[in-house]
Structure formats: C-alpha cells, structure tokens
Amino acid sequence: MPHPISTLGAAHTLISLVPATVGLYSFARYRGIDSATRAGKIYLGGLLLAVLTSFGLSSSGGINAGHVLGILALLSVSGALLAARLPWLSRARPYLSQLGFSFSFFLMWVPGIAETLTRLPVTHPLADGPQSPLVRGALAAWFAFFVVGSMAQLLWLRSRRRSLKGPVG
C-alpha cells in the first residue's frame, strides 16, 4: 500500500462521509443547505467534527492545505449563519447565506477528491500526488460544477422570492 491510512485517518474519512452525504441530500431535497433543517444541523455538526479530526492528520508534521481548507469551510459556514441574521443585508441575506454553505461544501470535497485519487485503488492509485494532471483536472471540474451550481442556486432563490411576492400591479 503506497500511502497507508492511520486509524485517525480512517475515522476522519468515515466522519467526513456524514457532511458529504447529508450535503448531497440537502442539495437534492432543498436545493441548498439550510441550518434550520435536521439535515442542515447534521451537516454543520459533521463538518465541524471532520475539520477537528483533520487537525490530527498531517504527513508534513504541521499545518497543511487540508487544514487551511477546513478552517476556510468553518469560516464560510460561520459567515453563512451570520449573513442570515443581519437585517441590514436585506434581500442579499438568503443569497449570501446559501453561497456560504455551498462554498463550505465545495471546500470540504477538495481534499477528499485529491486524497481519493492519490490513494485508490490501493494497489495502484490513479494519481501520484496532488500536482498530478488527473487531480488538477478533477479539481478544475469540481470548481466549474461549484460555479454553475451556485449560479443555478442563486437564480432559483431569486425566482422563489419573486413567486412568494406574488404578481405586481
């Protein structure tokens, strides 16, 4: 096995599957992550645990890119929660909040994509490191998906807001 996984690494991977799965469910069911739903609360708790367990993992012995992405994901959900409660943001609140949740979901998957491609299949991983063309291409595709998905999400929020207001005139 080229990169053996530690017990903490295995636990972190299993914990990380919780916000990954619940996030996908939330996007499919609610078209976003909503902290008021049970799924949203599970997502937030799972993300927090995933980031906290990642701090015990480091092949370099210090802070790595995965740690930084985890911190950014936590800052993103904190901003999303705060944006939803700031009255002076007015109509921008739902857009900024949902963008924050979506960005945290995007960030959470970045190390997962890189790690999966450099570890699987176990006998001969698909990529030899984070700089490999396969990893870079997969991350570029993931970023494009995030941008297109975020735009669709914001358009849906806009149409929903308009339909709730009713006809003008």
122-135 pLDDT per residue, tens:
899 999 999 999 99
**pLDDT over 90 at 59, yes or no:** no
Burial environment of residue 141 by CB neighbours within 10 A (0 to 12, 13 to 18, 19 or more)? exposed
Q: What share of the chain is helix, strand, coil (3-state, %, to 5)?
A: 75, 0, 25
Q: Is 35 helix (H, G, I), strand (E, B) or coil?
A: coil
1 occurs within a structural domain = no
Q: Return the closest-CA partner of residue 106 out of 149, 135, 64, 63.
A: 149
At residue 83's C-alpha, the angle toward residues 94 and 30, to 5°, is 35
Confidence class for position 167, pLDDT limits 50, 70, 90? low
> What does the pLDDT read at residue 63?
86
Q: What is the count of structural domains for the chain?
A: 1
88 occurs within a structural domain = yes
pTM of the entire predicted model:
0.90
* Angstrom distance (rounded) from CA 65 to CA 114: 11
2 occurs within a structural domain = no
27 occurs within a structural domain = yes
149 occurs within a structural domain = yes
Confidence class for position 112, pLDDT limits 50, 70, 90? very high
22 occurs within a structural domain = yes
The range of the structural domain enclosing residue 102 comes to 7-165
47 occurs within a structural domain = yes
